[in-house]
Amino acid sequence: MKTKITKTISALVLAGSALLALPAANAYQAGDWIVRAGAAGVYPTGDGSIKGISGSKVEADSAWSLGINGTYMATDNFGIELLAAWPFTHDIKCKGSISALGTCAETKHLPPTLTAQYHFNTGPNWHPFLGIGLNYTYFFDEETKGDLKSAGGDLSLDSSWGLALEAGLDYEFSNNWLVGAQVYWMDIDTDATLKIKDLGFKSSGNEVSIDPWVYMISIGYKF
């Protein structure tokens, strides 16, 4: 009986160690690269107005695009991430006293973002992290639309540098593959210049705040 119990226990211990030795993904380690690709959504929270048109308000709509980012783990806990994306195209809504213009412009932009991340060590599968860094947003292909376009409206937006904050969570589900969820807040502000040819109107230095929440859902791979 005693032998049988001993044998059973040894068998259990063996089975247990076999389980522990299974493809156990590790917490991220110094030297790891984590590359993610997925859907990224930019949700602006700010707005702006056009000097010289009292009561005017302009706001950028949300937009989704393809996001790609890569993290390099400099130590087991500290990583550096670069976020890149396919260009986003945002509608710009005219509101307030110029709300009759509706969707009065659109712009494309690229918002590359570099963050320093702290990764918490929570075992093999879940990888939560926080990051802080710098966003650069380059606006291009600004176009006026509708009545504003018909009146010879021309819009240009300056690029922006600002703070970026992020929180993220990767779930490593098998053999270095993971699903990731990240949220960023970015301080993006642009100076808008609006010219309207037919009215001989020009207004520059209009600060428009975008300050978006950026969400990204991705599939990733750890090298």
Binding site for Ni ion (CB under 5 A): 187, 189, 209, 211
Instruction: Give the Cα separation of 61 and 42 in Å (integer).
Output: 9
Q: Which two tokens stand for residue 211?
A: 């300050």
16: left (phi over 0), alpha (psi -120 to 50) or beta: alpha
Instruction: Give the Cα separation of 103 and 58 in Å (integer).
Output: 10
Judge whether 216 and 186 are in contact, CB under 8 Å: no
Provide, rounded to whole angstroms, the least separation between the CB of residue 187 and Ni ion: 4
Provide, rounded to whole angstroms, the least separation between the CB of residue 112 and Ni ion: 17
- How many Cβ atoms are within 10 Å of 220's Cβ, its own excluded? 21
Of 61 and 211, CB closest to Ni ion:
211
Helix (H) or strand (E) holding 10, with range, is: helix 2-21
Provide, rounded to whole angstroms, the least separation between the CB of residue 97 and Ni ion: 23
Of 154 and 189, CB closest to Ni ion:
189
Provide, rounded to whole angstroms, the least separation between the CB of residue 189 and Ni ion: 4
Of 172 and 187, CB closest to Ni ion:
187
Judge whether 111 and 157 are in contact, CB under 8 Å: no
Of 125 and 209, CB closest to Ni ion:
209
Provide, rounded to whole angstroms, the least separation between the CB of residue 211 and Ni ion: 4
Of 44 and 67, CB closest to Ni ion:
44
Instruction: Give the Cα separation of 111 and 217 in Å (integer).
Output: 17
